[in-house]
Amino acid sequence: MPINKGDAIPDVKLVKATADGPVPVQSRDYFAGKKIALFSVPGAFTPTCSAKHLPGFAEKADDIKGKGVDEIVCTAVNDAFVLEAWNERDGSGDVTMLADGNGEFAQALDLVMDGSGFGLGQRGQRWSMIVDDGTVTQINVEKPGDFSVSSADHLLEQLG
Protein backbone atom coordinates (compact mmCIF):
# COMPACT_ATOMS: atom_id res chain seq x y z
CA MET A 1 0.00 0.00 0.00
CA PRO A 2 1.45 3.40 -0.98
CA ILE A 3 2.50 5.84 1.71
CA ASN A 4 -0.29 8.13 2.93
CA LYS A 5 -0.86 11.25 5.01
CA GLY A 6 0.12 10.55 8.60
CA ASP A 7 2.68 7.86 7.70
CA ALA A 8 6.32 8.10 8.69
CA ILE A 9 8.97 8.31 5.99
CA PRO A 10 10.58 4.85 5.64
CA ASP A 11 14.17 4.50 6.77
CA VAL A 12 16.40 3.75 3.79
CA LYS A 13 19.79 4.92 2.55
CA LEU A 14 19.78 7.78 0.05
CA VAL A 15 22.68 9.71 -1.40
CA LYS A 16 22.80 13.50 -1.22
CA ALA A 17 24.26 15.03 -4.36
CA THR A 18 26.71 17.82 -3.55
CA ALA A 19 29.33 19.80 -5.45
CA ASP A 20 31.92 17.91 -3.40
CA GLY A 21 30.53 14.52 -4.37
CA PRO A 22 27.96 12.04 -3.03
CA VAL A 23 27.15 11.95 0.70
CA PRO A 24 25.18 8.98 2.11
CA VAL A 25 22.21 9.83 4.35
CA GLN A 26 19.53 7.83 6.17
CA SER A 27 16.10 9.09 5.21
CA ARG A 28 14.61 8.93 8.71
CA ASP A 29 17.48 11.00 10.11
CA TYR A 30 17.50 13.42 7.18
CA PHE A 31 13.79 14.29 7.48
CA ALA A 32 13.76 14.51 11.29
CA GLY A 33 13.15 17.93 12.81
CA LYS A 34 12.52 19.72 9.49
CA LYS A 35 9.60 20.65 7.28
CA ILE A 36 10.49 19.52 3.77
CA ALA A 37 8.80 19.93 0.40
CA LEU A 38 9.74 16.66 -1.30
CA PHE A 39 9.09 15.76 -4.90
CA SER A 40 9.93 12.80 -7.10
CA VAL A 41 10.54 12.64 -10.82
CA PRO A 42 10.76 9.56 -13.04
CA GLY A 43 14.18 10.64 -14.28
CA ALA A 44 16.67 13.45 -14.58
CA PHE A 45 16.97 15.04 -18.02
CA THR A 46 13.60 13.65 -19.14
CA PRO A 47 11.22 16.07 -20.93
CA THR A 48 8.55 16.99 -18.35
CA CYS A 49 10.97 16.68 -15.44
CA SER A 50 13.46 19.07 -17.06
CA ALA A 51 11.03 21.52 -18.65
CA LYS A 52 8.51 21.85 -15.81
CA HIS A 53 8.94 19.86 -12.61
CA LEU A 54 12.43 20.78 -11.35
CA PRO A 55 12.39 24.31 -12.81
CA GLY A 56 9.01 24.96 -11.16
CA PHE A 57 10.40 24.18 -7.71
CA ALA A 58 13.55 26.21 -8.43
CA GLU A 59 11.47 29.22 -9.52
CA LYS A 60 9.07 28.99 -6.56
CA ALA A 61 11.71 28.20 -3.92
CA ASP A 62 11.44 31.53 -2.11
CA ASP A 63 7.64 31.34 -2.04
CA ILE A 64 7.69 27.75 -0.74
CA LYS A 65 10.27 28.53 1.93
CA GLY A 66 8.23 31.62 2.85
CA LYS A 67 5.42 29.23 3.86
CA GLY A 68 7.57 27.66 6.59
CA VAL A 69 9.35 24.99 4.55
CA ASP A 70 12.96 24.47 5.67
CA GLU A 71 14.19 22.65 2.57
CA ILE A 72 13.07 21.63 -0.92
CA VAL A 73 14.22 18.16 -1.91
CA CYS A 74 14.02 16.27 -5.20
CA THR A 75 14.44 12.51 -5.41
CA ALA A 76 14.75 10.23 -8.41
CA VAL A 77 15.95 6.75 -9.28
CA ASN A 78 19.19 8.14 -10.66
CA ASP A 79 22.71 8.32 -9.26
CA ALA A 80 23.96 11.37 -7.34
CA PHE A 81 26.31 12.47 -10.13
CA VAL A 82 23.46 12.64 -12.67
CA LEU A 83 21.19 14.49 -10.22
CA GLU A 84 23.90 17.03 -9.40
CA ALA A 85 24.56 17.71 -13.10
CA TRP A 86 20.84 17.98 -13.79
CA ASN A 87 20.30 20.40 -10.90
CA GLU A 88 23.17 22.55 -12.18
CA ARG A 89 21.54 22.71 -15.62
CA ASP A 90 17.80 22.94 -14.84
CA GLY A 91 17.46 23.57 -11.11
CA SER A 92 19.10 25.75 -8.50
CA GLY A 93 21.03 25.72 -5.26
CA ASP A 94 17.64 26.02 -3.54
CA VAL A 95 16.82 22.39 -4.36
CA THR A 96 18.60 19.52 -2.62
CA MET A 97 18.99 16.32 -4.65
CA LEU A 98 18.63 12.96 -2.92
CA ALA A 99 19.54 10.09 -5.21
CA ASP A 100 17.61 6.84 -4.92
CA GLY A 101 19.98 4.99 -7.24
CA ASN A 102 18.70 1.50 -6.45
CA GLY A 103 15.05 2.53 -6.15
CA GLU A 104 14.86 1.45 -2.50
CA PHE A 105 13.12 4.64 -1.38
CA ALA A 106 10.55 4.42 -4.19
CA GLN A 107 9.93 0.77 -3.28
CA ALA A 108 9.60 1.53 0.44
CA LEU A 109 7.06 4.27 -0.38
CA ASP A 110 5.30 1.85 -2.76
CA LEU A 111 5.43 4.54 -5.45
CA VAL A 112 7.25 2.65 -8.20
CA MET A 113 6.48 2.84 -11.91
CA ASP A 114 7.57 0.45 -14.61
CA GLY A 115 9.29 2.46 -17.33
CA SER A 116 10.81 -0.56 -19.05
CA GLY A 117 8.65 0.03 -22.13
CA PHE A 118 10.68 3.23 -22.61
CA GLY A 119 14.02 1.68 -21.63
CA LEU A 120 13.92 3.28 -18.16
CA GLY A 121 13.41 0.17 -16.00
CA GLN A 122 11.85 0.56 -12.57
CA ARG A 123 11.57 4.22 -11.54
CA GLY A 124 9.82 6.33 -8.95
CA GLN A 125 6.45 7.78 -9.84
CA ARG A 126 5.92 11.52 -10.20
CA TRP A 127 4.64 12.98 -6.93
CA SER A 128 5.12 15.68 -4.31
CA MET A 129 4.61 15.76 -0.56
CA ILE A 130 5.18 17.77 2.56
CA VAL A 131 7.13 15.92 5.22
CA ASP A 132 7.05 17.50 8.68
CA ASP A 133 9.50 15.99 11.19
CA GLY A 134 9.52 12.70 9.28
CA THR A 135 5.72 12.45 8.87
CA VAL A 136 3.84 12.94 5.61
CA THR A 137 1.31 15.78 5.98
CA GLN A 138 0.42 16.20 2.27
CA ILE A 139 0.86 13.80 -0.65
CA ASN A 140 0.09 14.31 -4.34
CA VAL A 141 0.63 11.36 -6.68
CA GLU A 142 0.20 11.92 -10.41
CA LYS A 143 -1.72 9.64 -12.71
CA PRO A 144 0.60 8.13 -15.36
CA GLY A 145 1.57 10.75 -17.93
CA ASP A 146 0.07 13.69 -15.96
CA PHE A 147 1.74 16.73 -14.46
CA SER A 148 -0.49 18.87 -12.26
CA VAL A 149 -0.87 17.83 -8.60
CA SER A 150 2.88 17.32 -8.05
CA SER A 151 3.79 20.81 -9.28
CA ALA A 152 5.33 23.55 -7.17
CA ASP A 153 2.23 25.69 -7.74
CA HIS A 154 -0.11 22.99 -6.41
CA LEU A 155 2.09 22.40 -3.36
CA LEU A 156 2.16 26.16 -2.70
CA GLU A 157 -1.65 26.20 -2.67
CA GLN A 158 -1.64 23.38 -0.10
CA LEU A 159 0.77 25.28 2.10
CA GLY A 160 -1.74 28.14 2.24
List residues with catalytic annotation. Answer: 49
Residues in CB range of 100: below 8 A, 6 or more apart: 14, 75, 76, 77, 78, 106, 124
CA 66 to chain centroid: 19
CB 150 within 8 A of CB 140: yes
Q: CA 156, CA 94: separation in Å to the nearest integer?
A: 15
